[in-house]
Amino acid sequence: MAIAEEAAAEGAAAGGDVAWQATVGKALAAGLAMGLSAIGAGYAQAKIGSAGAGTLAERPEVSIWIITLQALPEVIVLLGFVSAIMISG
């Protein structure tokens, strides 16, 4: 009887450890999903921004296109955000 109680207590302790590790893992994964997608979008926007500035200097009439292109990488961040929510939820 005493042996069974001891085993159950050990099991409960191990289950607690697993739950704690899962929470930390999820948080890390969500952070990575959000952070890396934000870095990727930032890099893309930097490149588009520099080329866009060059284009606007010579052809201001295409400004709408440049603003649209500049905003496109934001989708990457949104996808990262959704992924992060799904991971942590």
Rounded to a whole number of angstroms, the distance between the first and last alpha carbons of the chain is 40
Q: Tell me which residues touch other proteins (CB under 8 A).
A: 47, 50-55, 57-59
Closest to other proteins by CB, 29 vs 69, is 69
Q: How far is the CB of 74 from other proteins (least distance, A)?
A: 19
The pair of three-digit structure tokens given for residue 10, joined into one six-digit string: 């050990």
- Give min distance, CB of 58 to other proteins, in A: 3
Q: Helix 2-58 and helix 74-88: axis angle, to 10°?
A: 170
Shortest Cβ 56–other proteins spacing (Å): 9
Taking the least distance from each CB to other proteins, the nearer of 52 and 73 is 52
**Distance between CA atoms of residues 72 and 55, nearest Å:** 17
